[in-house]
Structure 1
Amino acid sequence: MQECTIELSGPPQPVRLHYTRWGPADAERTIMCVHGLTRQGRDFDVLAAALAEGGAQVLCPDMVGRGKSDWLNDPAGYLAPVYIAHVQEMLAKLGIGRVDWVGTSMGGLIGMGLAAMPDGPIRRLVLNDIGPFIPAESLAYIAEYVIRAPRFANLAEAEAYLREIHRGFRDLSDQDWVAATVHGTRPAEGGGVTLAHDPAIGAVFTQDAMVDVDIWPVYDGLTNPTLLLRGADSLLLTAEVADAMTRRGPRAELITFAGVGHAPGLVAPEQVAAVKAFLEAG
């Protein structure tokens, strides 16, 4: 694994994007793994290592405002079109034309947007607990915690907090939670630690924005081979929406994991095996 940075011109401003690279840079196949709203690229360490063993190059970026990447001056820029533009510029600068895509939650929405573009870069698409319809009540739950900027005395306090707000990650081991906390926090000014994302990313979750998200037309236009992963207890991806996704658009292959909410952590052996098998099948 190699930690890397790349300078992007924007929009809406020049930014330095951090990412980890697994596997050989000259590999014939590249896989991008993109995280959820408040997370960062190191969430994919276990999966990325497994995929790199198959000979692929795996890129796991910290999207702008998260992890070790720059924050935006104007929080209004924390939107899917900006993330999509950053990925496009990143791939162009790295000389990569086609990628397979693994997207958790927000990362899946970005993936759908890229896949829907004319001559889009995505070959095979894995959507982790996200679909083209998100109920308003699920967004309200996310909004309640994303705008917080808590400060913790130590990593143990931060881990307890992350276990609570991400309680859908029930498949993570104690060791996984330690790693998620180490990579999901940063030193706080004056001591202690805080979360490794810009709390201003919650600025888009205004009261007016608390409506159902419906991008079925985008999904219906996709033709990529698609794997849909769902936590059986997910509030963000309902069973009804997941079922409809198997019959509409790319007619996704659906795998549901029992005892998991939003979202499968992609660290459990059966989850890693499912993604690996799907990506290596084509």
Structure 2
Amino acid sequence: MQARRQFVQCLSPTGLHWMSYQEWGDRSNPEVLVCVHGLARVSDDFDALAKNLSDRYRVICPDVVGRGASERLRNPMHYQIPQYVSDMVTLLARLDVEQVDWFGTSMGGLIGMGIASLEGNPIRKLILNDVGPALNPVALARIGDYVGQGVAFDRFDEALAYIKAISQPFGAHTDVQWEKLARDVLRQNEAGQWVKHYDLGLGLPFKSVTAEQAAAGEAMLWAAYDAIKSKTLVVRGEYSDLLSMETAIEMTKRGPCASLVQIPGVGHAPTFVSDEQIAIARNFFLGHA
């Protein structure tokens, strides 16, 4: 089974842009699962999960604007959660369904939280993969440091080594899995060099955030989380430096009172390409024990 590449036109303060998404399964199926990737990743991250769940769902995997096959924004300062929420609301309208389930890794989870907090939202079940309202500033600085760095490699094996180095918190993967994780977020430029498949301007909003803005943002995220009524599962990597165990436990006590699963031997963030991790998502969404 292969995904179908689609596009939807969205609006930012500086004009229109196209957001790409991949669609798996029967497009007439009213059961829809939306899977949204992390900050510097792409829709292809969910190929294994989408293939597994497309027997029960129409699975929608967008390239968040600025990544992959989606267009780049004219003003990189708009690479922030409110813009992404707006784009996803446009995508949900395109899907023309009354209800969806949502799987969000890191940034994709924050987007899901933003939508699920709104009155009348369509999210029935929500997985927050290694993300919550309180985010470790040291981890954010680590991610923000490499996301805006321009790199160019003449050989794919050099590019692969780089992706493996910055992605070590993903945990153990096979050589085949590592190669796919690398190819998904790399492309060859006109000179034949391997470069990142996203707008390097993604890093600019990170650099402009003050301590006061970060504190205000965390308060807003907790308010959004507390407004969620969707059935929610929080997944945490055992060694995550972004989502602390204290925050994860707090998320089980307030708002939607989420269930919590911790994946051993993994940091930020579980990739959900292994059968064991995919089973966690399948069981939660399909209602098994």
Please report the TM-score for the alignment, with normalisation by the length of structure 2. Answer: 0.93
Amino acid at match of 1:191: G
One of 9, 23, 26 as aligned partner of 2:25: 23
Alpha-carbon deviation of 1:107? 0.1
* SS, match of residue 266 in structure 2: coil
Would the aligned equivalents of 1:226 and 1:253 in 2 still touch at CA under 8 Å?
yes
Q: Any idea what the Cα deviations from partners look like across 1:189-245, whole Å, max 9, x if unmatched?
A: 322110111000111011544645512111111111001111000000011111111
Would the aligned equivalents of 2:10 and 2:19 in 1 still touch at CA under 8 Å?
no
For these two proteins, the number of residue pairs brought into alignment is 281
* SS, match of residue 186 in structure 1: strand
In 2, the alpha carbon distance for the partners of 1:99 and 1:157 equals 40
Alpha-carbon deviation of 1:4? 1.8
| Mapping for residues 69-148 of structure 1, pairs under 5 Å | 69-148=70-149
Q: Any idea what the Cα deviations from partners look like across 1:86-134, whole Å, max 9, x if unmatched?
A: 1111121231232100000000000000000111121100000000101
Would the aligned equivalents of 2:152 and 2:194 in 1 still touch at CA under 8 Å?
yes
Paired position in structure 2 for 1:264: 270
One of 19, 43, 46 as aligned partner of 1:44: 46
Paired position in structure 1 for 2:158: 157
* SS, match of residue 109 in structure 1: helix
- Measured on the aligned residues, the alpha-carbon RMSD in Å equals 1.4
Structure 1 residue ranges, 4+ long, deviating more than 3 angstroms after superposition = 207-213
**5+ residue gaps, structure 1:** none
Would the aligned equivalents of 1:99 and 1:121 in 2 still touch at CA under 8 Å?
yes
In 1, the alpha carbon distance for the partners of 2:240 and 2:175 equals 21
In 2, the alpha carbon distance for the partners of 1:108 and 1:50 equals 20
Paired position in structure 1 for 2:227: 221
2:246 aligned with 1:244: no
2:260 aligned with 1:254: yes
**5+ residue gaps, structure 2:** none
Please report the TM-score for the alignment, with normalisation by the length of structure 1. Answer: 0.96
Identity of aligned residues (%): 38
In 1, the alpha carbon distance for the partners of 2:229 and 2:205 equals 30
In 2, the alpha carbon distance for the partners of 1:154 and 1:102 equals 34
